Structure 1
């Protein structure tokens, strides 16, 4: 009988493999945050994860592949815990809840630290920054565009390109926050970012709001 078969979905073996991968990713993330990408070795990650190098390479063939997977996970996390905005309660409050989530992610120290880790490697490993930008942008825009499409179906918004509308909404809402985080500059207060976000949504609705959209 072959020993190379994939574990059946839901089996104990599959759950063990899932835990092992999570163990590796958690250790790798901490090592990258402490030492940066270039100064972190696969040996150090294996030690931190309490796994052999053979096990580590069985999951991830290179440090770049491991970091790439971390970037993907990081971007997915940005959308996973978004509170579902309630369009029944009005379009403006729903958009505020959506944008407030992304602002809070940049204001969270742990999330900002990973963003800065990627940014710090931009000269030596520009492909990592490109990966974070393209992967993160796609993940977030896909989610926001889907939500805006739902609002359009309800007759609350009018636009031709959901992804373009999503990008403009987020740019108006977060303003210079990502750049300040990337450069390690002092951030504005939460109250200031709240004010910027609300002003941005007002501009967005002037451009895309349908004439019959409730502006609660």
Structure 2
């Protein structure tokens, strides 16, 4: 089953208002526990208004995830300077990736997608394609330019981009996802970020 497309969504004056209410309820109650009544109440709209924008709860959830992930990805992409040296760009990207991975939103969305994976496998796909995949494509584009300038030595760009993303998860992501540790100091985040950049450059730097 494909993820819901934009054709299923109608935008209007209260569209963003509905999204904010839906985000609040989904984060609090999960996908299964969230009711349309609660979402409409949190958004301050009638159920009729909600259904005028979104035909069902699944489509609304997809849009909440897509909107949030695209926002985060776009913020990171906008900061990438194609002419900046790899260390500076990778550090900036890691400074975006790590806090987002550890955010309450990312942690809860991951759990919701995992819990609903059997019934709605497209939930996880939508989460990946609307955020991580966008950032991955932009990072790959930068890496190609850096290789052309002789600043990096990479043959498999997709693998290299994925490896960097995984390095940004080291130590903190699994602990956060399972609730072992949900708060991190600036020093702890810097340790992960610096480690990801140094390890990547040790493998691919020139």
Structure 2 length as normaliser, TM-score?
0.79
Conserved? CA contact 1:157–1:209, under 8 Å: yes
Gaps in structure 1 of 5+ consecutive residues? 1-16, 211-216
The one of 194, 197, 202 aligned to 2:193: 197
Q: Alignment RMSD, CA only? A: 2.4
The one of 40, 43, 46 aligned to 1:49: 43
Conserved? CA contact 2:18–2:43, under 8 Å: yes
Gaps in structure 2 of 5+ consecutive residues? 1-10
Aligned mates of 1:75, 1:52 — CA distance in 2? 27
Aligned mates of 1:89, 1:161 — CA distance in 2? 21
The one of 167, 191, 198 aligned to 1:172: 167
Q: 1:91 to 1:123 in 2, by over 3 A?
A: closer
Aligned to 1:36: 30
Conserved? CA contact 1:174–1:197, under 8 Å: no
The superposition leaves residues 141-177 of structure 1 with CA deviations (integer Å, 9 ceiling, x where unpaired) of 1222222223223221222332221111121233132
SS in 2 for 1:158: coil
The alignment covers a number of residue pairs equal to 190
- Larger Rg, first or second structure (1 or 2): 1
Structure 1 length as normaliser, TM-score?
0.75
Aligned mates of 1:144, 1:170 — CA distance in 2? 10
Conserved? CA contact 1:86–1:94, under 8 Å: yes
